[in-house]
Homo-oligomer: A and B are copies of this chain.
Amino acid sequence: MNVAILAHEKFPDRAKTALGVLRYADHDAVAVLDWDNAGQRVNDFVPDVQDAPIREGMADLEADEVDTLLIGIAPIGGGFVESWREDVRTALEYGCDVVSGLHYFLSEDEEFVRLADEHGCKLEDVRKPPEDLTVSQGIAGEVDAEIILTVGTDCSVGKMTTTMELARDAREAGHDVGVIPTGQTGIMIEGWGNPIDRVVSDFTAGAVEEMILEKADEHDYLFVEGQGSIVHPAYSAVTCGILHGAMADKLVLCHAAGREEIHGYESFDVPELSTYVDLYEGLSAPVADGEVVAGALNTTNLADDAAAQEAVEAYADELGVPATDVIRFGTDDVLEALF
């Protein structure tokens, strides 16, 4: 699939979805759209992901170069930015599908619906949950596949990245691995999945279970992308539903080095690591006996490799399990704990 990825004014640092797709998806990226950096290349900014030219807009591409436009960024609140309209319009006129993770549903925009209809293409809002979700049956623990879930100390600590790095490296090591995506970036990378944060609260666990039941026969191992944190003042419901819906055998605890307060909720301190281990394992025990067997520490904010190495070692020591920074130091130690 040939994709263009819209990331105006936010590439690369505030374009998490665009970068996730460039890093992990199977798609061929024909361009990133960013009028601020048009003429440069992705690798000028980020060396270790799929390269692509950066263009000003869809009009700079030929219709036959591209199959799909992905919206690779989101403003706070998840609305549609009107200055993007011309790109979406052109994409639809080219006959491209458009995939979006915005809260604003493109499939409810009158002009886009009309254009998609005229040109025979699809508007896919990955944040719109399917209609047929329901409550969990409580049977994800019975599948043959081993289930590995990333859990976190907070939002934005690297659960999606850890899931994708572990899955890719495990595949390269010869294991038969599937990914269960639960958020917009994961869904765009994998090309399917339920947006767990948008489902009816009663169906949170059920929406995870449904994906596991669908994929368990196809793989020996399923890596489930976690969300939020179990003590997050706003998002813990989603975290708890994923934990019980996935009924994981093994947990990987993700943390950002130096994070001491809940991101965006700074009146709340991040508790001790042992509190997280006790809560994740304690909540898991009555349904699945999932244990924290490895740690993933995000050390982006440490400039120095030696300091990062020290931080990872301290993290592993405190957890009493192998740990790494999956981007900086690779996944070998953690994969050894998982397989």
Contact = CB atoms under 8 A, between A and B. Distances in A.
Interface stretch (A117-125, A280-288, A328-336): A280-288
Contact of A287 (B137, B202, B231): B231
21 contacts: A135-B235, A138-B233, A138-B234, A138-B265, A198-B201, A200-B201, A201-B204, A202-B234, A202-B235, A202-B238, A205-B235, A231-B244, A232-B244, A233-B244, A236-B240, A237-B238, A269-B286, A271-B285, A271-B286, A275-B286, A279-B279
A143 to B, nearest CB: 14
Interface of A: 135-138, 196-206, 230-241, 243-244, 247, 262, 265, 267-269, 271, 275, 278-279, 282-283, 285-287
A204 B241 CA distance: 11
What number of copies of this chain does the assembly contain?
2
B234 A136 contact: yes
A265 B245 CA distance: 13
Residue among A137, A138, A206, A240 facing the most chain B CB atoms (10 A cut-off): A240
Contacts of A230: 240, 283
A234 B275 contact: no
A286 B247 CA distance: 24
B283 A279 contact: yes
Contacts of A287: 231, 233, 268
Contacts of A240: 230, 236-237, 239-241
Nearest to A200: B198
A195 to B, nearest CB: 9
A238 B201 contact: yes
Contacts of A200: 197-201
What 9 A-B pairs are tightest by C-beta distance, nearest first?
Answer: A237-B241, A138-B233, A204-B237, A240-B240, A136-B234, A231-B286, A197-B202, A237-B237, A201-B201
